[in-house]
């Protein structure tokens, strides 16, 4: 509730993005919307106080040279300051940032992902399945979610699979191992002499029919 996700959408994607409500993208199989947590810094500040979490300073790893990551980091730093949470930005090159994330030497960072296929199985395995990548470096561990991910991958009944992935999305939303910020469309620019340049919703380029006149 301390992070104004719509402000991130407006500032970082120039209004082209959309506040995310799940780790599964809209348009993908079995996507379900979770009730959004409102931007409410006063409520967030009260919750921190009630939990005895005062005087916090968090280490935020930022990939230097990545304009989007740097802009998000500055906005998040400003927003968390409003609820009394300090954020120390640690700008490092891509190679070093990866080493820090793998080692767990950070409190916050921002990452992006896209689906390889419309099915939510690979993404769920990646972020909830505890399959060796430390759940996309969040170190989140939930045995119930892990078992459900494995069961959903082999379930053949579509209705049963949908129920499983709805439960997984609800579990991730409730436990908050990460904060879903926004979804952004793929934006491409081409010259007027280029025809049939297509990109599917997953970001894959289809160049078989592309023609330069």
In this predicted structure, the answer to whether residue 152 has a pLDDT above a threshold of 80 is yes
Higher pLDDT, 52 or 206: 52
The answer to whether residue 93 is domain-embedded is yes
The answer to whether residue 83 is domain-embedded is yes
Per the structure, the count of domains in the chain is 1
Contacts of 77 (CB under 8 A, 6+ apart): 60, 87, 89
The answer to whether residue 122 is domain-embedded is no
Instruction: Decide: pTM greater than 0.85.
Output: yes
The answer to whether residue 33 is domain-embedded is no
CATH number of the domain bearing residue 105: 3.10.105.10
Asked if 164 contacts 201 with a C-beta cutoff of 8 angstroms, the reply is: no
Q: What is the pLDDT of residues 136-147, one digit of tens each?
A: 889 999 999 999
The answer to whether residue 13 is domain-embedded is no
State percent of the chain over pLDDT 90. Answer: 78
What's the pLDDT score for residue 131?
A: 81
Q: What is the pLDDT of residues 24-82, one digit of tens each?
A: 988 889 999 998 899 999 999 999 999 999 899 999 999 999 999 999 999 999 999 99
> Mean pLDDT throughout 77-88?
97
Instruction: Round to whole Å and give the CA distance between 136 and 102.
Output: 9
Return the closest-CA partner of residue 4 out of 33, 36, 48, 26. 36
What's the pLDDT score for residue 138?
A: 93
């Amino acid at each position: 509730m301390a992070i104004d996700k719509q402000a991130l959408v407006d500032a970082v994607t120039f209004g082209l993005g959309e506040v995310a409500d799940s780790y599964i993208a809209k348009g993908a199989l079995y996507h379900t919307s979770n009730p959004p947590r409102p931007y409410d810094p006063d409520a967030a500040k009260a919750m921190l106080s009630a939990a005895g979490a005062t005087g916090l300073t968090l280490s935020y790893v930022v990939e230097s040279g990545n304009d989007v990551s740097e802009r998000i980091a500055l906005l998040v730093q400003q927003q968390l300051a409003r609820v009394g949470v300090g954020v120390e930005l640690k700008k490092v090159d891509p190679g070093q940032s990866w080493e820090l994330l793998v080692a767990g030497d950070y409190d916050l960072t921002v990452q992006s992902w896209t689906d390889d296929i419309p099915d939510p199985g690979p993404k769920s395995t990646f972020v909830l399945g505890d399959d060796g990548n430390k759940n996309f470096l969040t170190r989140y561990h939930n045995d119930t979610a892990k078992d459900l991910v494995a069961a959903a991958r082999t379930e053949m009944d579509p209705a049963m699979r949908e129920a499983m992935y709805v439960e997984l999305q609800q579990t991730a939303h409730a436990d908050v191992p990460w904060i879903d910020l926004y979804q952004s469309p793929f934006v491409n620019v081409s010259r007027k002499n280029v025809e049939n340049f297509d990109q599917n919703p997953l970001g894959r380029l289809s160049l078989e029919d592309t023609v330069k006149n």
